[in-house]
Each structure stands twice: as C-alpha cells, then as structure tokens.
Structure 1
Amino acid sequence: MNVGAHRTAPPAAVDGDRWFRRYRPAAVPRRRLLVLPHAGGSASFFHAWGTAFDHGTEVLVARYPGRHDRLTDPCVHSMEELADRVTAAITPLLDVPLTLFGHSMGASLAHEVALRLWREHGVSPAALHVSSRKPPHRLTPHQVYKEGDEALIEEVLRLGGTDEALLADPDLREVVLPAIRADFTIVGTYGPRPADPVRCPVYAYIGDQDPSLSAADMSDWSEVTAEEFRLDVLPGGHFYLLDQHENLIRRIARRLSAGD
C-alpha cells in the first residue's frame, strides 16, 4: 500500500453534481473514503490524499460552495443544509462501503452525514474518522463569525492551516473571506446537541498541542458509538495532519483495509 505523502496526485474529475473532487483508482474500487474539510478549507488542501491509499480505495473530497472552482456558488451557512446536501450528493455512490473522515468542522459534518445515511437510507458508514473537533454534546460554539474581518482572520491564523500570504493580500482576502465567514457561521451556530449514536466504529485524532481542545475532549467521541472506539494523539497543533501526513494516512489505511 502506498502511503507516500508528497507524490503527485492523479488527474481528478469533478462529479456532475459539483460536490466532490473524485480520484479514480485504476481498478474497480472496493471502498470509498469521503474527506470533509475544515472551516475555510477546500478540496485542494487534501490533494495529496488522492494517491495515499491503495487502488482499491477511491478518494473523494468535498468541494464546498463559494471557493475555488465553485466560487460563484452561494455559500452555505448552516450545518443542517450542508449535511443535507452532502448526503444527497453521496447517496448515488453507496454501491461499495463508505468511510467518512472529517477534520475540525468537517468532523461534525461527517457525524451528521453518517446519521442521515442511516435515517434516510438505512446505510451505515464502514467507519467514522473525526479529527480536531469536540463531539456534538461537548461543543462550545464561538461567536467570532459575528465580529469584524480582523477578528475572524486572527482566529483563522491562530488555528493555522491557512496561507498567511493569502489573507495578507487585500484582493485575495476579499475573495476568500465570504466562504471563511460562512463556515465559521456554521461552526458558531452548531451548538451542543445530543450524542446521537452512529452504527459504526469511530476513530478520533488530535494533535497534542491543539490550542482549542484536548485529548480528553476527543475521547468523548466514544459516547456516539457502541462499537469500537480508538483515539490517536499525534504530535502537532490543530493542523497536526500537515506534518503528520504519512503517520495519519498509515493509520487510516490500516483501518480501511481491516474492514475488508
């Protein structure tokens, strides 16, 4: 299995529904991995994941509206709408086992998608992987989305994972800020709610120097499943998955293949 982090990804095709960047393996896939980015994130952040798994794994990365090649599409401002639309888009692709991975805001979104897949289609993901985000019943939403641009930018830079030069350029900042504010609105209005259980294993990941949450916070994801739960603490901050790319991919890949 290839777990190299920096190889050039294969050509990517965008689904007609515009919601996923889809990397096609050479053979018929045995499974799919849907990656759900963080607030302010985009599919390009996870570009290297396209070649990080074996040819039996087809990788899809969500393309949220309002950025990159969906720049003219209206942004989504609520978790409910975003989860509904992602679930509708992934439904035609449930012919093989589906695993969900979400980082930060994407972790909450992955949980919501998993719940909808069961409630609406009677399908459970093979596994739910959540990264750098408190579980639904432990969330403490922040109101930074209501503040001015400088406060929002300060929070984005505090967490890391965003090119500082992008936010320093006034013209580029004007382009990217609407999507960032929309995502932080989703985060800020998605408050504590019941720990609705998923019917699959849950694997949680966190950096040991995350400024916003602790390993104890992530361990509470165990309360959303009656099946296997594992917590991996890796070196790094909120975006530990940049420096720990190979380490993280290796762990996910092992868990993907264990489900065969």
Structure 2
Amino acid sequence: MSTYSGVASAWFLRFGAARRATLRLVCFPHAGGGASVFRQWADLVPESIEVIGVQYPGRQNRYGEPVIDDMTVLVDEVVAAVNRELAGPVAFFGHSMGAVVAFEVARRLRGGAPVAVRRLFASAGPAPSARRSLGVHLRDDDGVVAYLRELGGGGAELLENPDIRELTLPMVRGDLRLIETYRYASGEPLTCPVTAIVGDRDHTFTTADARHWVVHTSAGLDVHSLPGGHFYLDDQADRLVPLLVERLLSC
C-alpha cells in the first residue's frame, strides 16, 4: 500500500515500508506522468533500496492543484521537499522531462544538504545543454495529441478517450511548456556518476544523444540500451530495474 513520507507529504509517494533501506531511489516522471508509474519497482529491488516516486502537482492524488509550468519553480519546490523530508544517500532516476528535473534538483543539492546524491539515471532525456524545443506546447490540442501518439506509451492511448483528454490535456500541455521553455544555465558538473539509458527504437534519444550527458558529470558516464521506444520502461521493468540496482550497489 502506498504511503507518503513525512507528515501529509504530497511530493513523495512511497511504495511499502522499506524499513531496512539504506539508499533511496527517487524517481522523476515524464511530462504528463505521475509517481504511480514506478509502483511495481518496489517489488523488484532489494530491501536495502527504497523506491520513491516524485508526484508533480496537477495529477493523480494532486489533481486539484495547479500545474507548475516553470522549471525553476518546480525545482525550488522539490528541493525544499527533499531538504524537509529526506536524509542520507539517494539516487535519482528521471525519465524524459524527469531527467532534466532530476539533474537540476541534484545540482541544487551539492554541499551542505541532508542528502547525498550517489548517481543520476537519465532515461530517454537529452542532456540539459543539448536540449532543443519543438514548440509542442504551442500547438493546438490535436497537435499535442499527435506528438504524444508519435512517442507511444499508454498515456497517448488514453487521450483517445474524449473525457480523459479534456481532463488531462491541460496538465500535459503545462508539463510540455515547462520543459520546452527550460534553458540550461552553465555551471559546475555533478560530482556523482551519470547513467544514461535509451530505448533502442527511440528516435528522440539515441545512444549518440546519451553521450552528451558526459559534460554534466565529473565522475563518469555509462550508457545502456534496452529494447523499445521512448517509453521502453513500460515493458522493460524486469530488465531496467536490475540494471539500476547493479549500478547502485556498485556506488
């Protein structure tokens, strides 16, 4: 059963008690995604690792809250929640938009924070310094849906339902605005290793793209490919999570 960290926390969704955990894997969803996408991962990790999903406002249990469509504001909020509610060693996993959010949060947590970021997993997301906006958030509703359909994944199928489309499209558009208006500001690289993961049929993020993450870490980059497209993780949890665990246990 899912519980929230801290007192009535909305930012971090925990899956199980994880009383023996010595490291926390904090997972940042893609644009339009929610923390529940990582629910099954808790059954695939050892007792020493706790899986925590970051829940952005405007979806799932936070549906009634305004969507945050500015990267700086979102990072400010997540960093405050981390400092308030987490401690000890952590690793960040971010998928697509979530990879950049995780990176920016990790940058802000260097030195003096109650947590120590041991590794960043960047999944299906271009390096911050190499991002290019397609202007999808400026398209009409049909244009946004068409783009999501190209990416694939279960979320695109749900948007074929008119009722679901009406409820969720504003949230999706807000997330797209957040990542497409994001501008990387140069700074010191992370001091933790980065692992970049691609789907071998993802035309938006190839192994060549993944190698650009090397400029954002002083501790080394490794790149891995798994079968699938942009949302390879939907079908590859039984291969992806052991990869994450192996890298975490080697930290």
Taking structure 1 as the reference length, what is the TM-score of the superposition? 0.90
Residues 1:64 and 2:89 are matched in the alignment: no
User: CA offsets per residue over residues 185-204 of structure 1, 9 Å max, x none?
Assistant: 01110135436411101111
How much has 1:251 moved relative to structure 2? 0.7
- Who is 1:213 aligned against? 205
User: CA offsets per residue over residues 192-217 of structure 1, 9 Å max, x none?
Assistant: 54364111011110011112122111
- Structure 1 residues 120 and 97: CA distance shift in structure 2, 3 A: closer
- Who is 2:178 aligned against? 186
- Who is 2:3 aligned against? 13
User: CA offsets per residue over residues 21-67 of structure 1, 9 Å max, x none?
Assistant: 11234433201010000001111222211222111111110111111
Residues 1:117 and 2:106 are matched in the alignment: no
Give the residue type in structure 1 aligned to 2:15. Y
SS at 1:168's partner residue? coil
- Who is 1:88 aligned against? 80
Moved over 6 A (4+): none
Alpha-carbon RMSD: 1.7
Distance in 1 (CA, whole Å) between partners of 2:178 and 2:112 is 22
Report percent identity of matched pairs.
36
The one of 124, 130, 142 equivalent to 2:122 is 130
Once the two structures are superposed, the pairs formed by residues 132-211 of structure 1 within 5 Å of their partners are: 132-194=124-186, 196-211=188-203
How much has 1:122 moved relative to structure 2? 7.8
How much has 1:237 moved relative to structure 2? 0.9
How much has 1:135 moved relative to structure 2? 0.6
The one of 4, 10, 15 equivalent to 1:23 is 15
Distance in 1 (CA, whole Å) between partners of 2:144 and 2:122 is 24
The one of 44, 60, 79 equivalent to 1:52 is 44
How much has 1:89 moved relative to structure 2? 0.8
- Between 1:151-160 and 1:93-102, the stretch displaced more is 93-102
**Structure 2: runs of 5+ lacking an equivalent:** none
User: CA offsets per residue over residues 130-175 of structure 1, 9 Å max, x none?
Assistant: 0111111111112110111000111111111234442122111111
- Asked if the contact 2:41–2:237 (Cα under 8 Å) also holds between the matched residues in 1, the reply is no
How much has 1:79 moved relative to structure 2? 1.0
SS at 2:110's partner residue? helix
- Who is 2:32 aligned against? 40
- Asked if the contact 2:87–2:115 (Cα under 8 Å) also holds between the matched residues in 1, the reply is no
Distance in 2 (CA, whole Å) between partners of 1:29 and 1:93 is 15
SS at 2:189's partner residue? coil
- Who is 1:8 aligned against? none
**Structure 1: runs of 5+ lacking an equivalent:** 1-10
Distance in 2 (CA, whole Å) between partners of 1:83 and 1:213 is 23
